[in-house]
Chain A
Amino acid sequence: MGRILAAVAIACLLLLPLLLAGPYHLHVLILTMMYVVLASSLRLINLSGQMSLAHGGMMTVGAYTSTLLVMKAGFPFWVAMPLAGFSAALIAYVVGYPFVRLKGIYFSIVTIFFSEVVVLTAQQWQGLTGGNTGIFGIPRPSPVVIPRILRMDFSSKTDFYYLALVLMLVSLIILYAVERSRIGLILRGVQQADSLAESIGIDTTGFKVLAFTVGSFFAGLIGGFYCHYISAISPDAFSFLFTIYILVYVTVGGEKKFVGPILGAAVLTILPEVARPLKAFMPFLFAAVLIAVIFFVPEGMAGLPDLARRLMPRSEKRPARA
């Protein structure tokens, strides 16, 4: 059932640009797909029991890496973007070990601060990053040409849409594969009982760092994509508030299931666009939705079917008493 839905969804997404009117709709969809990847990768980190707020910082790292590689070192975009992901992963690996040893809220605090340090670095290292003003005129991705079949030169939003779609699908496939694998099982075990996992020989620190590294890779990757999409990057583009919004998507969508962050990101990005007049109230609505979720539906949107099943009148389920 799930596979059929996914196939249908993918088909729709592939055909969408042909049906939609304007570049603005495509822009919203591109953002949505970015947020889907960000939320899903953040969830992977949370899966190991560590609530990370470093995602914004990792995106900034990826964005600047890709930009500088392309503009100052002459790398082609198609090499620079994956390297953006790897640079974020490398940094995550380096800071991961000391960070992960901290318990609970203290881990979250240092990740908040990590994002801030990234912003400060980008602001201060003027020689490298152009300081507070950021970098403009970031070139488009170099064209993809398959003779007589395909030519994408990224002069239109449609090309970016398909690139974003491919990135999203590839990312989700990888994240899902990790989740379904033994790694996912181990991460969930570590989250439930990490001393127990240690006592049976699982290197819990190593696995937490692994989750942090892999999750951060995708943040860097999306950062690399984004700066070439809007042609500009500034130090505080992916601020603390930005990271918080991603966390909101994960929480509202539901952290327990893989599809949760996808739902959360999609609904919370598209809904404000659909209900345009309400845009001014968006922060309040978000806050209200958040509070409603925490108090009443802690498993998020993805948990609604289970919740409904639990609330169903019993008489439909139980056989009649003799």
Chain B
Amino acid sequence: MSAGALSQSVLNGLALSGIYILIALGLTLVMSIMGIVQVAHGEIYMIGAYAVYYMIAVLGGGFFLAIVVATLFVGGLGVLLERLCFRPFRGQPDRAFTVSIALILILQNVVLAIAGGNPLTYPSPFTGVLRILGVAISWKRLIIVLVGLGLLVCLFLFIKLTRTGQAMLAISQEREGAALQGMNIDRISAVAMFLGCGLAAVAGGFIGSLFSISPTMGSFALMKGIAVIILGGLGSIPGAVVGGAILGLVDGVLPALTTTHIAGLVGFATIIVILIFRPQGIWGHD
């Protein structure tokens, strides 16, 4: 295979990695800090995509502006959901899980009712290619990788430098112990939801620029997010990053190297093996 085709695949893979990491990080943040299986995370991602679409196609805004606004909007929505739906059931994961199921139904169908079921698209403003060493690299995907990296760095700094961030890290690693140390769980949960949903919105917004959006796009995100989390480690934030990187590259590169059949088989065979022998993932704690 030519260097050009290979580098395209790698770039595809990296772009997917960026998106998977954003989804998985958001999911891990929400789940490990609030202790619930937030299965409506895919729907949050979907709403992010639709918010971006609305900003671009209806209000005629620019792409980055749309992403920023969508992120803030969806982050705020997340905070609202935490306050109304999840806080009353803190410590009761089964009932909180039922709430998130209800959220899937509601969110999917509200969007379906408003925007219809047909796939929609919006253009990415980054057309064209960058040529390095005679290899064409699409700007669209490169931007995703760069933005993803940027967000990762910001998140990393937030966790390292702020008290809330440190608290979040502590809670994600050991929930019971951290809760006993008198941290303000309300505020930390709200921040976690804001960040988690915001990250999902960014991912959704970017996916929409690559592919189309539909009200049912959420399940793809949920499954990829869970796959990354299982690979990288349940409850582990660095695991989400590494897992997302690996899975994205596999999904991007493998189909180009082999036939789609073999690619799929290798992919899922690995996951089955992990699922059976180390279901808590590489970095996970059980």
Contacts and interface: CB of A to CB of B under 8 A. Distances in A.
A and B touch in the complex (CB under 8 A): yes
B104 interface: yes
Nearest to B110: A284
B268 A121 contact: yes
B230 A120 contact: no
Given A102-B286, A284-B105, A124 B261 contact: yes
Contacts of B123: none
A109 B230 contact: yes
Interface of A is mostly: helix
Contact of B279 (A102, A124, A284): A102
Interface residues of B, number: 45
Given A121-B268, A124-B265, A287-B105, A106 B276 contact: no
A137 interface: no
Contacts of A113: 223, 226-227, 230, 271, 275
A244 B93 contact: no
Interface in A64-114: 94-95, 98-99, 101-106, 108-110, 112-114
A120 B268 contact: yes
Contacts of A123: 264
Contacts of B37: 105, 108-109, 112
Contacts of B235: 106
A197 interface: no
B54 interface: no
| Most chain B C-beta atoms within 10 Å of own C-beta, residue among A98, A104, A287 | A287
A67 B105 CA distance: 32
Interface in B253-286: 261, 264-265, 267-268, 271-272, 275-280, 284, 286
Given A117-B268, A123-B264, A240-B222, A102 B280 contact: yes
Contacts of A121: 268, 272
Contact of A248 (B101, B234, B268): B101
Given A294-B89, A294-B99, A112 B226 contact: yes
B39 interface: yes
A241 interface: yes
A103 B286 contact: yes
Given A106-B234, A114-B275, A283-B108, A290 B280 contact: no
A110 B97 contact: no
B202 interface: no
B173 to A, nearest CB: 14
A164 interface: no
B109 interface: yes
Contact of B98 (A112, A240, A251, A284): A251
B83 interface: no
Counting chain B CB atoms within 10 Å of each CB, which of A247, A248, A291, A298 scores highest? A291
A51 interface: yes
A114 B284 CA distance: 17
B95 A298 contact: yes
A101 B276 CA distance: 11
Contacts of B88: 295
Contacts of A142: none
Nearest to A250: B98
Interface string B103-138: 111101100000000000000000000000000000
Which 10 interchain pairs have the tightest Cβ spacing? A124-B264, A287-B105, A290-B102, A287-B102, A283-B109, A283-B105, A287-B106, A120-B268, A106-B234, A105-B37
18 contacts: A51-B94, A98-B279, A101-B286, A102-B279, A104-B93, A105-B93, A109-B226, A112-B223, A116-B223, A117-B271, A121-B272, A123-B264, A124-B265, A244-B39, A283-B108, A283-B109, A286-B105, A291-B102
Interface of A: 51, 94-95, 98-99, 101-106, 108-110, 112-114, 116-117, 120-121, 123-126, 239-241, 244, 247-248, 251, 283-284, 286-287, 290-291, 293-295, 298
